Structure 1
């Protein structure tokens, strides 16, 4: 089984959280909302990976980041291979809140904290929001 370390950004702006929408045809976690982030590449620090992924997926520039949570999940990757994902969640502040969807996302949206329970989020995101008391 493959293992993949994934850095995840929790970007909260005045009680609204930024989510990216996964393509319905691309795994893992197709057709769900997730916190922006992605895999750590070789020779990359966690913070460098976080900055790169946030910029690729949202166009936003990370100003500050602090790790606040971790969890894991085993699921099929986008190639259909069973993968053990290790998720490291960071509380992130950004330079600007005007985003543009990129990379493998079909959309980006701010959701009010109280609405998170009403949207289809990935299992790892659900675990995080339970941990911080929003689910």
Structure 2
């Protein structure tokens, strides 16, 4: 039986010192690429959840975490099973580009934000990248 309420999730478009961003292909999003992230645990702040998820999934420490946007996924076919998520998206930076993937991460790439759009992204990550480009690249 699915949860009775939507699940809060966090994810981030993280930028390396050279300006590239990390995108990942996971087992959960039916072959599409996205950003690392996951569910917020009971009693956990959003920022703590984001830092934990990045450590667990890709072994990266985040800094300069800034809120980006909210999205909602209601039984979206891109996800591997029926779910209702409130996706809380962030922008962040990291010092290292050494990814230590967990079992959820199938592939990963550090790419420019423009190169990322050439990957088969899930629609939520595509929107996050487009927002990033509008905010930070059109200056």
- Whether these two folds match at TM > 0.5 is yes
SS of 1:50's partner is helix
Cα separation, partners in 2 of 1:96 and 1:130, compared to 1, 3 Å: closer
> How far does residue 53 in structure 1 lie from its aligned partner after superposition?
0.2
TM-score (norm 2): 0.81
Q: Deviations over 1:2-59 (max 9, x none)?
A: 4111111111122311011112xxx3x2211111111101111101100110001111
Task: Give the Cα separation in 2 of the matches to 1:113 and 1:95.
Answer: 17
SS in 2 for 1:38: strand
Contact 1:69/1:89 (<8 A) preserved:
yes
In structure 1, the residue matched to 2:7 is 4
RMSD across aligned positions (CA): 1.9
Partner of 1:93: 93
Select the residue among 3, 20, 24 that pairs with 2:24.
Answer: 20
TM-score (norm 1): 0.83
Equivalent position SS for 1:88: strand
What corresponds to 1:31 in structure 2? 31
Q: Determine the C-alpha separation between the residues in 2 that align with 1:93 and 1:116.
A: 17
Which of the pair is proportionally richer in strand? 1
Provide the C-alpha distance between the structure 1 equivalents of 2:34 and 2:114, rounded to a whole number of angstroms.
16
Instruction: Specify every segment of 5 or more residues in structure 1 that has no aligned partner in the other structure, as ranges.
Output: none
- In the TM superposition, structure 1's runs of 4+ consecutive aligned residues that sit over 6 Å from their partners are none
